[in-house]
Amino acid sequence: MIVSVVGARPQFIKAAVVSKALAQQGIAETIIHTGQHYDDKMSQIFWDELEIPAYSINLGIGSENHSLQTARMMEKIDEFLCSLQQKPKVVLVYGDTNSTLAASLVAAKLNLPIIHVEAGLRSFNREMPEEINRIVTDHLSSLLFCSSMESVEQLAKEGITSAVYNVGDVMMDAVRLFSAKAKEKINLKEVIDPEGEAYNIITIHRPSNTDNQNNLSQILDAIGTINATFIWPLHPRLAKRIKSMELPSNLLLKEPFSYLQMLSLIQHCDKVYTDSGGLQKEAYWMKKQCITLREETEWVETLHDNWNILAGSDKDKIIRASKVQAAINTWTPLYGDGFAGDKIAQIILQVYYP
């Protein structure tokens, strides 16, 4: 039996792909939801919409500072794993959240093999908690699945060369699988009004932007000078913070969107402005230019030919980036062929179920 641990929106999307592939190979799976994302708009709707197998337990950890949140997750994950009548064959984790780190540390302490999906990514900024989570998880893992050769090469630089596979990105699988469903199921007019008006998407959730008043103000000031409508699905943690701020008139606040809603919005938008890692890729796959509100990205391949521009939280850089256009003939496929989940399940079958 595999125990998979998830806790945040991007991991729910990845699990929708990998869990389905595991089931097709006849591999039994138990899912732990840590509760890192606990708001229904950030959590339960993804399970319902993407038809992810039901989780066995929701640890209900919720929001805390990084150390306390990770510690509480470790305690609850350890308790659950030790309560199982059948010892897990392996623990599977995704990406770079505190849920990822907590599960990896507990599995290592219990001498359980760890599978890391989306291994080898590096922003080279250790002030980002996600960077620490990636590094520790990679160095504890027994089986590492990478999204690109860049990640494989990075692991090799760190001395990790065995059981490393370049399978492509499972989020590309999700875009391939669910884009058609989004077109069929989502009425854009119900999501934004008026339908048909040109718009950009902006998302902000990283503490370096949300918890730094100067950075947040510079981003919003830049948005206010750009002649375009911006749709902003507001992260619950940020809603209280902006109540006292004067927001640009071209910024339309919305509650968090479901995954299918977000896919539909990206399909019809002009550009994407974000500090999210996953949204950078989703924008790229749908051939939408991305302005990244960070100084670095782990998805370095997307930076070619201005498809992704690093602007940070600097007002002038954001405004300059907004005026740059990517030429459609420079777009090239990245991160696999959209069948990463199948490859992951097949390799797991070979390694752990020979």
Q: Which residues are catalytic?
A: 205
CA distance 25 to 78: 27
Cβ–Cβ < 8 Å for 347, 167: yes
- Tokens for 23, please give them: 């089931």
From residue 290, alpha-carbon distances to 182, 287, 313 in Å are 21, 9, 14
Distance of CA 156 to the CA centre of its chain: 24
In eight-state DSSP terms, residue 7 is -
Tell me which residue of 238, 243, 205, 201 sits closest to 223, measured CA to CA. Answer: 201
CA distance 120 to 175: 22
CA distance 264 to 231: 13
Please report which helix (H) or strand (E) contains residue 6, including its range. Answer: strand 2-6
- Largest alpha-carbon pair distance within the chain? 61
CA distance 208 to 216: 9
The three-point CA angle 58-238-308 to 5° equals: 95
Length of the chain: 354
